[in-house]
Amino acid sequence: MYDPRRGYPIIVPCVLYDDPPAAARWLSAVIGVREVVRASLPDGWVGHVEMERDGLIILLGRRGGQFAGTSSLTQVFVEDLDRACEQAVAGGGVILEPPEDRPWGVRQTVVADPEGQRWALTRHVRDTDPATWYGRVLGPVPG
C-alpha cells in the first residue's frame, strides 16, 4: 500500500476539510469518486479519507493542527527525500515539518514553496496493516 512502484499515484492532491466524511459523501455524489481508505479513531473521529476514481486518489484531510492556515497540500512521492528537502530550501522554500517516519509506512516532510503552497514530500518505506494506524481499507487501492 502507498507504493508508487506498484501503482499508487505519484502525485496525490489533499484537500482539507472540517468534516472529511461529509466532504466524501458530497464528492462521491457529485464526481463519482468512491471511498477506499478511512482513518478514524475508536471514538469515531475521522482524520482522513481516501477517495478513488479510475486509479487516481484524492485524499481528504482534516483542517487545523499541522495544517492550520491552509486549505490544501499536494503529496508527491520522491526517491530521495533528503535531497528533495535540500533542493526545496536551496530554491527558497521552507521546511515546515522535518522528515519523519509515519505509521502508514512512509517517510514524509511538509515544505512550503516560495509562494507558500504546501507540499508533502513522501517516500514509501514499508507496507503496513492499516489497522495499526486506525485505518480501514474499504475497497481496492492502487499500489
DSSP 8-state symbol, 131: G
CATH code, residues 4-131: 3.10.180.10
Whole-angstrom distance, CA of residue 143 vs CA of residue 80: 19
| Model-wide pTM > 0.75 | yes
Cα angle: 2, vertex 67, 17; to 5 degrees = 80
Cα angle: 110, vertex 112, 118; to 5 degrees = 65
Question: Given pLDDT bands bounded at 50, 70 and 90, which one contains residue 132?
Answer: confident
Question: Given pLDDT bands bounded at 50, 70 and 90, which one contains residue 131?
Answer: confident
Residue-wise pLDDT tens digits, 68-111 = 778 889 999 999 999 999 999 999 999 999 999 999 899 999 99
**Per-domain boundaries in the chain:** 4-131
Containing 110, the helix (H) or strand (E) segment is: strand 106-112
